[in-house]
C-alpha cells in the first residue's frame, strides 16, 4: 500500500499547527454519558500535540492532519491482516477490549485499525448498521448534554477542531440513530485508550480510509468481554 500524499502548502499547515498548539492549554469539557463523541472529563495532552503531526493530506474542505504513527503501538497502526472468522465481507467488527476495528474483506483478510473507546461503563456493545455517513461533519449536543450544560454550543461546524474529525459513520438500529458514531479524532494519543463516553474514535486518516470502503447499510458488530449483545 502506497503512503499518503503529504501536502506542503504552508498556509494550511500553519493554521493546523496554531490550532494544535493552542489546544495544549485547553481541557475538554466534561459531559454526560450520552455525549458519546467527546472526552467525558477534562483532558490535557501528556505530550506536545504538534509533535504528533508530520504534515497534511489534501482533502476538501479541509486538509487532513497526518499523524506520526511511529508514536503508536504497532498493533494500532492500519494494516492488512488474515481473517478466518464467520462474518461476511463488508462487516465492521469492533473489539472494545483489544481497541481494534476490523473491516472484513473478500480474500480471507481484513483491514485492521487501532481505535479509542469509551471509558469503563460507557462503551456500547451489540449490533448496528451504518445508517449514514458524514464528511467533516458538524457536531451537535444531545438533549441530555444541553440539560446538564446549558452553555454548550448548539452546533459546532465541521473542521480540524471538531470532535468528530474528518469523517463519521452514524450507527443505527432499524431507523433509529442510537447516538454512537465511528469517527475521527483530533486527539491521536487517545488511540488504544479508554477515554471517550462511548463512541469509537480513529485517526482522521484511518476513518477517511474506512469511509471510502464502507457503504451505508454495512453491518457493525461491537464486542466487549468476548461477547456481542444482540
| Coil, helix or strand at residue 22 | helix
| Bond preceding residue 222 cis, omega within 30 of 0 | no
Beta-carbon contacts of 38 under 8 Å, excluding residues fewer than 6 positions away, are 28, 29, 31, 163, 196, 197
Q: Among 16, 32, 117, 199, which one carries the catalytic annotation?
A: 199
Q: By 3-state DSSP, what share of the chain in percent is helix, strand and coil, each rounded to 5?
A: 20, 30, 50
Give yes or no: 37 in active site.
Answer: no
CA distances from residue 30 to 24, 41, 45, 119, 135 in whole angstroms, order as listed: 16, 4, 15, 13, 25
Spatial contact of 106 and 190, defined as CB atoms under 8 Å apart = no
Spatial contact of 192 and 72, defined as CB atoms under 8 Å apart = yes
Torsion of CA 138, 31, 122, 37, to 10 degrees: 10
Rounded-to-integer distance, Cα 93 and Cα 223, Å: 8
Q: Among 171, 183, 201, 204, which one carries the catalytic annotation?
A: 183
Q: Are strands 117-118 and 194-196 parallel, antiparallel or unpaired?
A: parallel
Which residues are catalytically annotated? Answer: 183, 199
Amino acid at each position: 500500500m502506497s503512503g499518503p500524499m503529504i501536502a506542503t502548502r504552508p498556509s494550511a499547515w500553519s493554521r493546523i499547527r496554531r490550532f494544535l498548539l493552542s489546544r495544549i492549554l485547553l481541557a475538554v469539557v466534561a459531559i454526560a454519558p450520552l455525549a458519546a463523541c467527546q472526552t467525558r472529563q477534562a483532558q490535557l495532552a501528556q505530550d506536545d500535540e504538534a509533535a504528533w503531526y508530520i504534515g497534511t493530506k489534501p482533502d476538501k474542505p479541509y486538509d487532513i492532519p497526518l499523524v506520526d504513527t511511529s508514536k503508536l503501538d504497532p498493533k494500532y497502526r492500519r494494516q492488512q491482516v488474515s481473517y478466518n472468522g464467520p462474518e461476511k465481507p463488508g462487516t465492521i467488527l469492533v473489539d472494545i477490549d483489544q481497541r481494534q476495528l476490523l473491516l472484513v474483506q473478500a480474500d480471507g483478510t481484513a483491514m485492521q485499525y487501532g481505535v479509542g473507546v469509551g471509558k469503563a461503563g460507557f462503551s456500547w456493545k451489540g449490533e448496528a448498521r451504518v445508517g449514514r455517513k458524514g464528511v467533516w461533519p458538524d457536531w451537535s449536543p444531545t438533549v441530555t448534554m444541553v440539560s446538564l450544560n446549558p452553555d454548550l454550543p448548539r452546533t459546532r461546524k465541521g473542521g480540524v477542531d471538531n470532535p468528530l474529525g474528518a469523517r463519521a459513520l452514524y450507527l443505527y438500529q432499524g431507523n433509529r440513530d442510537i447516538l454512537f458514531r465511528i469517527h475521527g479524532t483530533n486527539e491521536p494519543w487517545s488511540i488504544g485508550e479508554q477515554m471517550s463516553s462511548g463512541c469509537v474514535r480513529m485517526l482522521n486518516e484511518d476513518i477517511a480510509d474506512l469511509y471510502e470502503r464502507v457503504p451505508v447499510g454495512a453491518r457493525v458488530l461491537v464486542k466487549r468481554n468476548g461477547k456481542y449483545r444482540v
